[in-house]
Structure 1
Amino acid sequence: MLFLLLALATNAFSQARKIINFDNDWQFIKDDVPGAEKPEFNDKQWRTLDVPHDWSIEGSYDRANPSGRGGGYLPSGIGWYRKTFEISKADAGKMCSVEFDGIMANSEVWINGKSLGKRPYGYISMSYDLTPYLNFDKPNVIAVRADNSIQPASRYYTGAGIYRHVRLVSVSPTHFTHWGTFITTPNASASKAVVNLKIEVQNNGKAGDYKLQIDIVDNKGKVVKTVESTKNILAKGTGLFTQDIEIGNPKLWNVEDPNLYSAVAKLYSSKTLVDNQTIPFGIKKAEFIAETGFWLNGKNIKLKGVCLHHDGGAVGAAVPLGVWKERFKKLKEVGVNAIRTSHNPVAPEFLDLCDQMGFLVMDETFDTWTAAKHNGEKGYNLYFKEWWEQDTRDLILRDRNHPSIVIYSIGNEIHDDLSYPEGYKAYKMQEDVVKKYDNTRPVTMALFRPANSKVYLSGFAEQMDVVGQNYRENELIAAHEAHPNWKVIGTENTHVISQWLALRDKPYMAGQFLWTGYDYLGEADWPETTNNQGLFDRAGNWKQQSLQRDSWWSPEPVVHIVRKSDNAGAGNWVADWTPSDFDTYDNAKVNVYSNCDEVELFLNEKSLGTIKKPADDSPREWNVTFEKGTIKAVGKNNGKVVAQEEFASAGKPTKIIIEKSNSTLSNNWDDVSFITATIVDDKGVRCANADNLIKFTVSGSGKIIGTDNGSIISHEDYILPEKHAFSGKAIAIIRATKDTGKIEIKATAEGLDAGIITVEVVPEKKN
């Protein structure tokens, strides 16, 4: 009987609110097709696919493409999606909506031929009510048109199509309002916390008393507190439940231990469950203080941040969560603890991952207001006046429960006239909308050349919660020292040492966000297709700036060797001991990046001397007469070896070795594994100059979803299962296609021994 009662309760709970994954089995065509919104339209010849889907990344690079340098010279145009589905007559009393996490761009959505609305901003999430137009026990047709033909639309790559997840949601007439729950922690300490919940209920049913039960559940699944309250809600009206819940000895959310709780809310009419929702949250206290910068739970820390664009390299804008997991792991390894969502709303699961992995977030709205920017003249500036308020509101309502978010930004390098008072009025109206829906976090913007725009003198900056500035750190330092009550942060910064020292040595500097964490598509001049200012390249390879940043930001002892690629200090910094021409390379300029007290360098086991750690964190430098063999750097603290790195000169390429980022996968769109193929000599040393064409083949329960090599001048298609090696390496990203089995991946190149590896497919874990 107990098991029967539990089964009935679980079934009732699941029936109160249905959330159905709506990603599968869409029909797609890259064309503008008249009449495609009509349910009777014949789409049988269209391509069947699952979303998220970015049709732009499937295309080829072409300098003549209208997207231009901003869009990375990838295709633009118009695409249509259609999906046929049925709703049971048993659900006729429910309210049904479709939720899109993002459609790029200028989208319009229809259900059974009825237009539900348009949305120009491709980064914003949206929900449409289907209820008045549904057929029951008969086919329904959703049609979506995405128009990316208006170019140039952006200074950086946007992607195209239904590039984020879609859900079908059905609820009772009386239900929790979409994004209507707001959770804050006005008091948070290690001994006690107060969790405040404001939960809005929309009553499209009968007037009456409704009971709200809230369970606070910790990260182990234990219910730590339960509260109930009752409210009478009028028919066609709304009711707002407000509840303060005290939690003793809470587990605080922070960057080292991102502890999460869940608020499980259940709404009852009498004894009938009418709606339910579960919202994760964190208990924390975050604040910016003018004199000392940023504080989290009473601890003064620096925001060591990066800016991230929304593309994932080879997968374009349709980024599986597994790609972000791999990227976040590397960012954590290099010491990054903060992310700026430059310059637009991100996918909701991106913020979920920040919550789970302990990243602090600057959540940003727009790259433009009304003034156009070069190479993006037909972007959001065309729509700002009509849409800024709704887009800002929707971003705040959607994102405000994420504990990772500590500050909002409402603009990046805005080219509108910011002179006082007109410019501040434009800023203030946006700030007011943010604080109407979330008054617990400060608001900033990334000021552009403020000394030129006079915002430090006009009264604009002094009215900002936190003054954010891109680059020109000395201006920001001078501004704070002239106005010690100003809270300041670097919203965009380069990788040079002077900008790091501005953060390290100025206690009032709350943090900085490097441009960028990863190389991103677009904003590059042909033949380049990718902006390469990232700590890591598109394929996830370490670069000179990530190796150096590791020595500044990592809490662990590190040693990294780099050399100039060409003779006598010419060329680029590379991390190997294999010059492209041994005959002409005799003077090697070598740098070692390290946070160790002292570093000793060895060439073929002969010491080249020891250098102590410079006070300004600059690299240790050696001029080395090149010899084939090995170069090794040894780092010591208090005389003890704590870190070392060694490179050997590579011989002739003989084989491919292959590695995997994940040894198991589940049949889930978001779950991927990075397969890295490296060309090596017979001793296993990477052949850094090898550029062989590597062909990937997959058999069994998986497929390749993209290939890459990280080269900013490669014009090879990402959807092809082959890539020329860049610095001796190439990657394939794979996904499972079945619920169980094995995936065998093989990497081959002419004249080399092949590399083979397997990944196991396991059943997906259910929450």
Structure 2
Amino acid sequence: MKKINLNKGWKVWKDLDPFELVFRVPRDAVRVDLPHDAMFHEEQKQGTANGGYTGNIDAGEYKYYKRFFAPEEYRGGHVMLQFEGIYRNAGVFVNQSKVGGSAYGYTDFTVEAGDYLRYGEENEILVTVKCGTRSSRWYSGAGIYRDVWLFHGGETYVKPYGLRFTTIDADSEGALVCVSARIHNDGLSAKTLDLSVRVQEVGEGKTAADQVYPVRINSRSVLDFRKNIYIDGAKLWEEDSPNLYQITLTIREGETVLDETRVISGIRKLSLDSRRGLRVNGKTVKLRGACVHHDQGILGASAYEDYEYRRVKRLKEAGFNAIRSAHNPASQALLNACDRLGMYVMDELVDVWNKSKVSYDYAIDFERSWEQDLRHMVDADYNHPSVIMYSTGNEIFEICTEKGFETSRMLSDKFHELDSTRYTTNGINGAFAAGDGLARIVDDITHGEADTGTGDVNVFMAAMERDMPGIVSHPIISGILEKLETTMDVLGYNYMTSRYLKDAAKYADRVMVGTETYPKQIAENWDAITRCPAVIGDFTWTGWDYLGEVSSVYPDLMNPAGDISLIGNRRPVSYYREIVFGLTKQPCIAVQDPANYGIPRNFGPWCYTDCTFSYSYQGQEGKPIMIQVYAGGDTAELFQNGKSLGKQACGKDTAFETQFHTVYEPGELVAVAYENGKEIGRAALRTAGKPAALELSAETYGTLAFINVDVVDEQGLLTADASTPLHIEIEGPAHLLGFGGLRARHRGGYENPDTTAGEGHALAVLRLDSSAEDYKRITVKISGEGLTEGKIEI
């Protein structure tokens, strides 16, 4: 079927009148191009119903409207509309007739439109969105926040996701693959067809296979076509060589082409066992994973593939090789980026089953919608080589009940029925999995001193940080895990690092993965993982900052728990993690503000350190200061303005971290790492002066350009503590999608030309309005009071 993008030219308005005529477009409707997050354009304010869950922003009910022309040639064929994601409770109307919808906000769905179209005329689409109070415990966004497509074909066609590419076997000599498709014949007579299957390398275009197969298909029927094909010298897909193939299926009747369908996929073979762990193409892989939320920072929930490409690229550069889509199915934008860059994906179905975590979440719809949504998720994921594992849920409260055991098996079985090539897991939090047994466990561990009565998941987890190892090792939890083990392929452990080695010794065939882990346990986790084949990897909470799930104090919006900030800058923990992973031995320096010296470091379990890359503390001269050094090797030495502060053990035995205590003296810090007495690397951190200038750099991946902004002093040093007002001007065929820094104020979105840098950084995201050859005509200027203007052409 031909695929046409319908993102352009929609109108949106807030639906306030329950008696409004279906297609009355109000005068104040706003023209938008998709993807669009209506919630992000609401006012952030105190006293919202959602509070900190969604960053002090409430959503509402919205209507999206579009007119499009349906040519006469579409008549007698097949026309469908595909929505990759609408949050939430969507209804789709074509010319006032309802043609479908979806309650869940994260799976794509397709509706049949042909019976309701006016051919040779303009047609109307209305999408209703009902995103009310407390439907999410993180920032969800609202509206048509992913792409929309129109598919049309004749009476013989393959539906969206109807063409599949499966690896049966692969080795150094080649690969056996299966090309399969569901071919529909809506005609009144049988047909003899020629099916052409072409497999080509993406990039070079080299043809790996090209064959024609005659088939017969009866009238009003569906043909399940399957053909195994051997590809000599196949280029396999894996993290270090993400080779992709384009598969084209062409349906001909005689010389007439009836339909043509293309997909991009890769060839890779997975295997899993407790002795050799996870293997990709025969090689053992440890998952260095990052949990990420679906939002796109200063763009809200709107899903742009260029954004995801930049995010995945940065995560991979920081040492990650895997992403967990928390806690909902990944977008096509994210999966496409992971395919292209070589990032493994654990794709997660839901955050709840039948028991709610907030008042009106997916638990309301789970019983009647789970099978449809799971099927949509598998259809969307199937051809993505990056997806290696499905998660059936996250921290499910009722998983320890009899119904919970049944549901766990039911979901995993359905995944295997629809896709036998991938594995299943679940993010099991031992504390919540205990159900009614939690009170007894906590009593046993704390001798009756702890309170389990809090209704907030995160508050409880933070309060119980110290006692979690004892809680999750309790026999009650062991019994629950034993019951769950046969309901999934891999037991996912949320915050249960203390169980890894014990469970590997006790349960010979148990395979485990750290589906969610505390940053403070990075070294402990990775040491256990590298020593234990049965534990296939770790997914930290969290790899990237996200929106929502913050304290309810207005104007909190951004959750700064990530290794990488909301706008893409690496924090000290990111460099530390890279050292722990064994990917580098280069040292890194991070400094605690002298004002906090000696104060108990109580910054919660989801933050590794309170130290930053700043060594500029005017007025704190001569006061005590703590400096962290992260390094590989076995020893680290710190120099302050050329004077050695001594050598200290720093390597695996010290969890790759050491601390130096001295007094603050502006100037330069230099850390040197040694191994067996030989220098293996050094790093420096210098005191910066006052903010003096703006340095800009640009990244352009397709339709978006990213302008990275650094606030620097006269010497070009980053002023890492700068929170500086900025203004942007754009000349040329582009417009501003977002402009902001860490903790920048939300003003109905971030499309305002004025914002504030945070931690010395800001980011501007531009949507390019013209063809690639005109990009050079775009000039971006960013200014700030008292600063030398930054200017760049893209």
TM-score (norm 2): 0.88
Distance (Å, rounded) in 2 between the aligned partners of 1:447 and 1:477: 17
Give 1:506's aligned residue. 532
Q: Does 1:271 align with 2:270?
A: no
Q: 1:434 aligns with which of 415, 425, 428?
A: 415
Distance (Å, rounded) in 1 between the aligned partners of 2:79 and 2:212: 27
Q: 1:674 aligns with which of 694, 707, 723?
A: 707
Q: Does 1:195 align with 2:227?
A: no
Taking a change above 3 Å as real, the CA distance of residues 287 and 476 of structure 1, as seen in their structure-2 partners, is same
Give 1:134's aligned residue. 117
Equivalent position amino acid for 1:688 in 2: A
Once structures 1 and 2 are overlaid, which stretch shifts more, 78-87 or 587-596? 587-596
Q: Does 1:489 align with 2:513?
A: yes
Give 1:345's aligned residue. 329
Does the Cα contact within 8 Å between 2:732 and 2:778 map onto a contact in 1? yes
Distance (Å, rounded) in 1 between the aligned partners of 2:359 and 2:390: 25
How many angstroms does 1:35 deviate by?
6.7
Matches within 5 A, 1:208-607: 208-219=191-202, 220-373=204-357, 376-420=358-402, 422-449=403-430, 452-453=434-435, 454=476, 456-458=478-480, 459-463=482-486, 464-496=488-520, 497-527=523-553, 528-553=556-581, 555-567=583-595, 568-570=597-599, 572-579=610-617, 581-583=619-621, 586-596=623-633, 598-607=635-644
Partner of 1:461: helix, strand, or coil? helix
Give 1:155's aligned residue. 137
Equivalent position amino acid for 2:645 in 1: L
How many angstroms does 1:371 deviate by?
0.2
Deviations 1:666-719 (A, max 9, x none): 5x3xx221331x332222222233323112222222222112212388789523
Taking a change above 3 Å as real, the CA distance of residues 33 and 51 of structure 1, as seen in their structure-2 partners, is farther
Give 1:630's aligned residue. 668
Partner of 1:344: helix, strand, or coil? coil
Q: Does 1:700 align with 2:738?
A: no
How many angstroms does 1:545 deviate by?
1.8
Give 2:764's aligned residue. 732
How many angstroms does 1:648 deviate by?
1.6
Once structures 1 and 2 are overlaid, which stretch shifts more, 487-496 or 318-327? 318-327
Distance (Å, rounded) in 1 between the aligned partners of 2:307 and 2:88: 23
Distance (Å, rounded) in 2 between the aligned partners of 1:249 and 1:446: 38
> What is the Cα-based RMSD across aligned positions, in Å?
2.2
Does the Cα contact within 8 Å between 1:530 and 1:713 map onto a contact in 2? no
Q: Does 1:742 align with 2:742?
A: no
Does the Cα contact within 8 Å between 1:468 and 1:489 map onto a contact in 2? yes
Taking a change above 3 Å as real, the CA distance of residues 438 and 36 of structure 1, as seen in their structure-2 partners, is farther
Deviations 1:218-240 (A, max 9, x none): 13111111223222211111101
Distance (Å, rounded) in 1 between the aligned partners of 2:635 and 2:190: 75
Taking a change above 3 Å as real, the CA distance of residues 222 and 104 of structure 1, as seen in their structure-2 partners, is same
Q: 1:619 aligns with which of 643, 654, 657?
A: 657
Distance (Å, rounded) in 1 between the aligned partners of 2:578 and 2:766: 29
How many angstroms does 1:251 deviate by?
1.0
Taking a change above 3 Å as real, the CA distance of residues 631 and 594 of structure 1, as seen in their structure-2 partners, is same
Distance (Å, rounded) in 1 between the aligned partners of 2:404 and 2:722: 54
Does the Cα contact within 8 Å between 2:558 and 2:742 map onto a contact in 1? no
Distance (Å, rounded) in 2 between the aligned partners of 1:574 and 1:95: 58
Give 2:723's aligned residue. 691
How many angstroms does 1:386 deviate by?
0.8
Give 2:606's aligned residue. none
Taking a change above 3 Å as real, the CA distance of residues 506 and 417 of structure 1, as seen in their structure-2 partners, is closer
Give 1:660's aligned residue. 697
How many angstroms does 1:44 deviate by?
5.0
Partner of 2:63: helix, strand, or coil? strand
Does the Cα contact within 8 Å between 2:53 and 2:552 map onto a contact in 1? no
Taking a change above 3 Å as real, the CA distance of residues 580 and 554 of structure 1, as seen in their structure-2 partners, is farther
Partner of 2:179: helix, strand, or coil? strand
Once structures 1 and 2 are overlaid, which stretch shifts more, 393-402 or 572-581? 572-581
Equivalent position amino acid for 2:249 in 1: A
Distance (Å, rounded) in 2 between the aligned partners of 1:638 and 1:476: 31
Distance (Å, rounded) in 2 between the aligned partners of 1:569 and 1:541: 28
Deviations 1:512-537 (A, max 9, x none): 11111111111111223232221112
Equivalent position amino acid for 1:154 in 2: S
Which 5+ residue runs of structure 1 have no aligned equivalent?
1-16, 760-767
Partner of 1:69: helix, strand, or coil? helix
Equivalent position amino acid for 1:490 in 2: G
Once structures 1 and 2 are overlaid, which stretch shifts more, 736-745 or 511-520? 736-745
Does the Cα contact within 8 Å between 1:334 and 1:553 map onto a contact in 2? no
Does the Cα contact within 8 Å between 2:86 and 2:143 map onto a contact in 1? yes
Does the Cα contact within 8 Å between 1:538 and 1:708 map onto a contact in 2? no
Partner of 1:105: helix, strand, or coil? coil
Does the Cα contact within 8 Å between 1:153 and 1:379 map onto a contact in 2? yes
Does the Cα contact within 8 Å between 2:741 and 2:758 map onto a contact in 1? yes
Equivalent position amino acid for 1:590 in 2: I
Partner of 1:727: helix, strand, or coil? coil
Partner of 2:666: helix, strand, or coil? coil
Once structures 1 and 2 are overlaid, which stretch shifts more, 104-113 or 268-277? 268-277
Distance (Å, rounded) in 2 between the aligned partners of 1:380 and 1:154: 8
Does the Cα contact within 8 Å between 1:550 and 1:558 map onto a contact in 2? no
Does the Cα contact within 8 Å between 1:101 and 1:347 map onto a contact in 2? yes
Give 2:463's aligned residue. none
Deviations 1:22-55 (A, max 9, x none): 000011112334576745x345542111010002
Partner of 1:538: helix, strand, or coil? coil
Equivalent position amino acid for 1:699 in 2: E
Does the Cα contact within 8 Å between 1:188 and 1:284 map onto a contact in 2? yes
How many angstroms does 1:242 deviate by?
1.1
Distance (Å, rounded) in 2 between the aligned partners of 1:80 and 1:501: 52
Equivalent position amino acid for 1:755 in 2: G
How many angstroms does 1:125 deviate by?
0.3
Aligned length: 731
Does the Cα contact within 8 Å between 1:524 and 1:530 map onto a contact in 2? yes
Partner of 1:32: helix, strand, or coil? coil
Distance (Å, rounded) in 2 between the aligned partners of 1:398 and 1:172: 23
Partner of 1:28: helix, strand, or coil? strand
How many angstroms does 1:338 deviate by?
0.4
More helix, by proportion? 2
How many angstroms does 1:639 deviate by?
6.4
Does the Cα contact within 8 Å between 2:631 and 2:656 map onto a contact in 1? no
Equivalent position amino acid for 1:607 in 2: S
Give 2:754's aligned residue. 722
Q: Does 1:96 align with 2:91?
A: no
Q: 1:66 aligns with which of 33, 49, 52?
A: 49
Equivalent position amino acid for 1:647 in 2: L
Give 1:116's aligned residue. 99
Distance (Å, rounded) in 1 between the aligned partners of 2:395 and 2:725: 41
Which 5+ residue runs of structure 2 have no aligned equivalent?
436-475, 602-609
Taking a change above 3 Å as real, the CA distance of residues 60 and 167 of structure 1, as seen in their structure-2 partners, is same
Equivalent position amino acid for 2:427 in 1: A
Give 1:753's aligned residue. 788
Distance (Å, rounded) in 2 between the aligned partners of 1:471 and 1:696: 43
Taking a change above 3 Å as real, the CA distance of residues 347 and 446 of structure 1, as seen in their structure-2 partners, is same
Distance (Å, rounded) in 2 between the aligned partners of 1:548 and 1:68: 33
How many angstroms does 1:144 deviate by?
0.5
Does the Cα contact within 8 Å between 2:184 and 2:223 map onto a contact in 1? yes
